[in-house]
A and B are shown apart, each in its own frame.
Chain A
C-alpha cells in the first residue's frame, strides 16, 4: 500500500489552508445568518407568530349525516334517531387522568369496564383526541357534569345521535340493527368513506339496516372550524351540509306485525302475510324475537348468552332464513304439475289403501286405514298422501320441480333482509350434480308430499299461496317507498298455468277450510265476505321405522320437542277475491291443523278487519276462547314505554 508522501511544494498546496479559511469564513457567515434569522423570527417576531399559531388553527371536521328513518306503511316509526348524551375526555387537558376519572365517578356511576376501555383507547390515540368515557348517559348525569365542569378539566359532555327502535322485538328480524363501525367492517370495504372513520359512527349490521345502508346513510358534510391550543373548537368558519339518508317506508303494517308477533309468542314459529294484489309484505314475524336496541348499545355478554343458548333460537330469522320441508302444503304444486301435464283430470281417482309400494319400499299415508277412492278435491281436503305418490310417479320430478319454481319455491326472492334462503326444489339434474347419485322413484314420492329434499322458507310458502290465489307471479315487496318515491309493485305477470286447473285447486283448498271433513275445518272463518281457503301441512323431522309403524306411530305429544313434527298452514282470503295470503310455520308444533291453522286464521282475520275482528267471524264453538285470547293479547301490550337511556342506577 502506498504510504503518504509528504509533498508540500507548489502553489496549490499552499493555497489549501487559505482556501479552507475562506470557505470556513463563508460557512460562519451563513451560520450567523441562520442564527440572526432565528432570532428575528423567535425573538423579535415571536408575538406575531404566536398570535398566528393561536388564531390560525383551521381544522376540517366531518359532519356525520342523519340516518334515514324507517316507517311502516301507515307512517308509524320503526327506526329513528334519538339524541344520546355521552361524556368524552381529552387526555391532554385532563392532566391527571386517574384523578379526574375518580372525581367524575363520584358524580355519575361509571363501571370499571367503561373506565378500563376508555384508558386503553386513550393510550392508543393522540392526546388531543376526545375519547368516549360513558355512552348513553341520562340528561341528569349530563347536567351534573356540565355544572361541575370547572372541577373536571378535559371532561366534555357531548350530544350525539343514536339509533332507536321504538317497536322493540316486533321488527328485530326485519329491520335488524345498527352498530359502531368495527375494524372488521372497514376491512371489508374497498375504499371506506372518511365518515366511517368517525369513532362510533353507526352503520347497519344486520337486516334492512345493513341491506339498505346505501340509501339510509346519506352523505357526510364538512365544516371548517378554528380550534384553540387545546384542540377545542372555538368557532365555525363555514360549513357544507351533508345529505341526510333517505327515509324508508316499509310495506309492513306495524299493528298487524305486533299482533302476529304476540300471537306467535311462546312458540318457535314464523308467519308471513302477503298482499296478493301488490306483493306487499304486511307482516313478517319470527318468534321468539329480541330487542335490537340492546345491540345498538353493545349487548352484554350475559344478555347475548341468553339469546344464543335459547333452543328456540331468537336470533334466527325463521321467515326467510329458516327452511322447512313444506309437507302437505306442497301438494297443490304436485296437483298443478299433474293437471298441467294432463296425466290427471280433476275427477280422476286413485284408490288409497293406506300405503303404496314404490320400488321395493312401502310408502304410507298418514291415515293408517287409507282414504279409499280419492279425487283431486278429496285428496287436498283430507290430505291423502297415496294420491300424490301415485300422481307424482306419473308426472315425474322434473315437471313438479319446474312447477315449484313457477310458484316461487326453490327461488331466492329479492327482499332486503339478511340471509334470505333460496330453499330447494330438487330435480334429477340437481341430485346428480350435488350428490352424484341418480334420482330414485322413492325421492319423487317423498317430494310429492313436500318431504325429502324439498325445502321452503315461510316467505316462499306465502308467495306460493299468493300466486295460487291470483294466478299471477306475485313477488314480495318489503320496501314500499324510498324518500317518498314508490318502489315498483310486486303484482307480477299472469302465470302460464291453465285458469281452470288453478280454479280446481283453489276450490279444493276452500274445502280444506270449509268442508266438514276438511283438515282445517275447525279453524275456518265464518264471516261470509272473508271465507278462507287453505292447506295444512305436517312435516316430519324424523324417520318412522317399520317397527314403530307396526306398534303404532308415537304421538307428537309423547316425543321430545326437537323430534316433533313441524306444523304448517298456508291460506288465502277472501276466497272469491283474494286479498291476503299467509303462511305459518310452527317449529315442532305437531299437526298443521292443530298448531298452525288457528294461528294463521287469527292473523288473517286481524289483517282482513284491519284491527280486532268481531267475534261473529269465528266459529261459534271457539268464540269464548277467542274472547279470552283477545283480552289477553290486548291486556299484554307490547313494551312501548321503556326508558330511552340505559338505566344506570
Chain B
C-alpha cells in the first residue's frame, strides 16, 4: 500500500476528521433549523423573543454536541450502548418518581437551563442498543425465537414506562423505531406479520377497555381519538385543534399568505403554534411551495443517512444510522399527519423546527453518531 493510498483509505484522525464530516447532511440540518427560527420569529409576531432566540442558542449548542459526538470513534459509541440504554431507563424511573408534571403527564427533569425528557433520550439509546445487539449476534441466530424475544423485551420495557407517564405518542414511536430496527437486522418477516396481527388485537382491547376499571388510556386520549375519527362532533372543544389546524393549513394555498401574514395563527386560533402546530403556520404563510420544500429537505436528510448506512461495511454503523433516520422520519411523519388531520393529536413536535430544547439536543447528538459512523467507516 502506498503512502497516498493509506492516507486516503485509512480512517482519518485528529483535525482531519472535520474534512471527512458528512457536510451535505450538516448543511441540510442547518437549513431545516433555520426554517424553524424563521417560523418561531413569525409566530411571536415578528420578535426574536420569546422563542426564536433561545432556539438559536440551543441549536448552536446542538451543533457543538453533534461535532463532539462525531469526533469520537463509532466503536466507542457501540461499546457505550448498553450503558446508555441503562442510563435512559434509570432516568425514566427517575421521572416516574420525581418528574415535573406538565400538561397532565410526568415527563421532565428540570435541569435549570432546560427540561430533559428522558423519553426523547430513550428513542436514540434504544436504537443504539439494538444495533449493538445485532452487531454482536451471529447472523444465523437472528431469527431464532430466543434471540428475538430479547430485543422485544428491550423495546417493551421503555415503551411501557413511557406509556405510563402517559405519553402515547412517544411510546408508539419507540415501538415503531424498535420494530423497524429488528426488521432491518433481518428478523424473519413472519414475526412481523404476527406482531401486526397482535397489534390489531391490542387496539381492539384498548377500545374495549374504555369505561372499565382497567382503562388503558386516559380519557383525554380517548377523546382525541374520537375527535380524530370525527372532528365535527366537537368543533369548539377537543376537535378545535384539528379543525383550526386544517383551516389554517388549507387556507395557505399554493404559495401562502406571505411571511408573518398568516392570519389564523396570528389571531390565536392555533394552539401550541410554536411547538406541535408550527408546521401549520409554515404551510399557511409559505403555502404548498413552502411545505413541500421542508418535506424535500427532510427527505434529503433521510437519503443522505441511507447512503451513509449502505456505504459502510460496519454492521453497527449501518444499523444505528438507519435506526436514527427511521426515528427522524417517524417524528416528522407523525407530526405532519397530525396537523393535516391524518393522525390523532398525540403531541409529537416537528423535528428541528418546533420550539423545544431537549428534543433538538437529543436529535443533534444522534446525528453526531451518524456523522461518527460516516467519518470512521472502514475504507
Contacts and interface: CB of A to CB of B under 8 A. Distances in A.
A306 to B, nearest CB: 42
Contacts of B30: none
Nearest to A9: B139
Interface stretch (A38-46, A104-112, A261-269, A354-362): A38-46
A4 interface: yes
A38 B340 contact: yes
Interface stretch (A23-31, A469-477, A525-533): A23-31
B292 A20 contact: no
A53 interface: yes
A128 B260 CA distance: 12
Interface in B233-285: 246-254, 263-264, 266-267, 269, 283
Contact of A10 (B79, B139, B337): B139
A642 interface: no
B378 interface: yes
Contacts of A126: 45, 266
B340 A43 contact: no
Contact of B250 (A10, A12, A41, A229): A41
A34 interface: yes
A514 to B, nearest CB: 76
A350 B378 CA distance: 123
A34 B313 contact: no
Contacts of B313: 6, 8
B315 A16 contact: yes
Given A49-B246, A57-B269, A128-B266, A20 B295 contact: no
B51 interface: no
Contacts of A305: none
A234 to B, nearest CB: 13
A49 B143 CA distance: 50
A26 B248 CA distance: 29
Nearest to B137: A12
B130 interface: no
B310 interface: yes
B183 interface: yes
Contacts of A227: 267
B75 A49 contact: no
A122 to B, nearest CB: 11
B74, B142, B315, B322 pick with most chain A CB within 10 angstroms: B315
A39 B322 contact: no
B75, B183, B263, B378 pick with most chain A CB within 10 angstroms: B263
A49 B247 contact: yes
B283 A38 contact: yes
Given A16-B184, A49-B247, A34 B333 contact: yes
Interface in B1-21: none
B247 A31 contact: no
Nearest to A18: B186
A15 interface: yes
Contacts of A229: 263
Interface stretch (B119-127, B222-230, B298-306): B298-306
B336 interface: yes
A56 interface: yes
Nearest to A231: B267
Contact of B329 (A2, A16, A27, A56): A27
B251 A13 contact: no
B180 interface: yes
A248 B249 CA distance: 54
A42 B250 contact: yes
B283 A128 contact: no
A148 to B, nearest CB: 27
B267 A57 contact: yes
Interface in A37-84: 37-39, 41-43, 45-46, 48-50, 52-54, 56-57, 59
A127 interface: yes
23 contacts: A1-B79, A4-B75, A4-B316, A6-B378, A11-B186, A12-B134, A20-B306, A20-B309, A20-B310, A22-B183, A24-B302, A34-B337, A34-B340, A38-B249, A38-B295, A42-B254, A45-B250, A46-B254, A54-B251, A57-B267, A57-B269, A126-B266, A128-B267
Q: Which 4 A-B residue pairs are closest in the complex by CB-CB distance?
A: A49-B250, A10-B139, A12-B186, A53-B251
